[in-house]
Amino acid sequence: MNTLKNYISEFIKRAGSYVFAATMISRILSFLASWIALQLIPSKPLGNVLFAWNFVVFMIPLVGFGLHQSYIRYGALSKTADEKHKLLKYVVYKGTISSIVLTIIVSVLAYLYNFETSEVKFYLYILSLVFVPAFLFEVIKVRVRLEHKNKKLAFLEVVYNLILIVSVFMLSYSWNTTGYAISFVITPLLTTLIFYRLLLAPNKNETKLEYINREFWKYGIFGGLSNVVTLLLFAIDIILIGSILNNPEMVTIYRYISLIPLSLLFLPRVFINTDFVAFTEKIKDVQYIKTYAKGYLTLFAVVSASICIFFYIFGTYILQLFDPTFTPYTDSLMILTFGICGILILRGLYGNLLSSIGQVKMNFYITSVAIFINYITNLTLIPELGIKGAAITSACLMWLTGLASAVAFYLLYKKYLLSLKES
């Protein structure tokens, strides 16, 4: 009990409660923005914008070729403020160029690919412009995290989503679907312009930082790729259910029953966003890492057990709120809920600890293998068990990837500490 109390106390001291509150507010505001768009734009043209946006979403983790992810890890390990400032300047410059390259790549691919409607191509041209402002906004958030200003991080998130609501309403009302597409670009752009000073750093000298090398870039790229394959891991069930069962109704049902437990993944993100810099700065302190891991595991074991009990009691009623025809699939909901616990307890912690010791590529490898297993297993289970087969596969892989991350961390952490002693 003391472990849990101490962990929560430290989380609150780092303004974690502000990050949690901001995350909840941001999710509500984001939902409200989607609702506003639905009221102002007819479903079919709105679907074309969202179809194009889904392509861009898979590319978002690669903005700046992932240099904002390199920035947070190497920034946390930097010993002086001068080093952090040099790193910020390098990341902003190189990441902006990389994001422009990404915009060009997506635009060229949109031009070359023959979509069913020309509107999708047009929206992709607009939405590809999001990469530069999205990258710069991520850098701003990383900087305040590195400076341990989690209250400011919470403020940034709320401001971003307030601008999103205003821009969605004004632009969708004025220019319909084109305005809605532009709102995705204008929101990070305006937020970045408001807080642009956080992208600036004192210019003392131009000596190059030793750790800005090939490994620095590889860390960022693998960090981005890891997020891309994670998105694909969650999406592949929908794709396979649609292609194997050839039943749009089953796709809709699975999308909604998986949406409920997947929405809980914000919980570990709140803690990691608050604590990543703190435990990366102290990654060499074995006792600190053990204590942190014990506190995290205790908290999320309790949270996971509570979630499972809640859905066991109220799962059927929750599905009825969506659609009474969903209630026969309560078993699938429970299976997915149990699976999500594997991410809450294990992968949320150890995936980020792997990143903190520079082993972000291990997250990419683990998830890539999981995608292959998912595909092979679902080819057998979906025809036999329908969407329950997809739920079983996903739940098992959520726990297996969590366990793999834990084992990989403890093995690689020992090697990491040994390498520090030898250097």
Calculate Rg over the CA atoms of the chain. Answer: 22
Domain residues of the chain, as ranges?
A: 15-199, 214-422
Helix (H/G/I), strand (E/B), else coil: 357:
coil
pLDDT in tens, the chain (423 residues): 788 899 999 999 999 999 999 999 999 999 899 899 989 998 788 888 988 998 899 999 999 999 999 999 999 999 888 899 999 999 999 999 999 999 999 999 999 988 877 888 999 999 999 999 999 999 999 999 999 999 999 999 999 999 999 999 999 999 999 999 999 999 999 999 999 999 998 766 666 787 888 999 999 999 999 999 998 888 888 888 888 888 878 888 888 888 889 889 999 999 999 999 999 999 999 999 999 999 999 999 999 999 999 999 999 998 888 778 888 999 999 999 999 999 999 999 999 999 999 999 999 999 999 999 999 999 999 999 999 999 999 999 999 999 999 999 999 999 999 988 876
Torsion of Cα atoms, 10 then 15 then 19 then 20, to 10°: 50
Axis-axis angle for helices 248-262, 214-245 (nearest 10):
140
Give the residue ranges of DSSP H helices in 323-386. Answer: 330-342, 348-356, 360-385
Distance (Å, whole) CA 157 – CA 134: 13
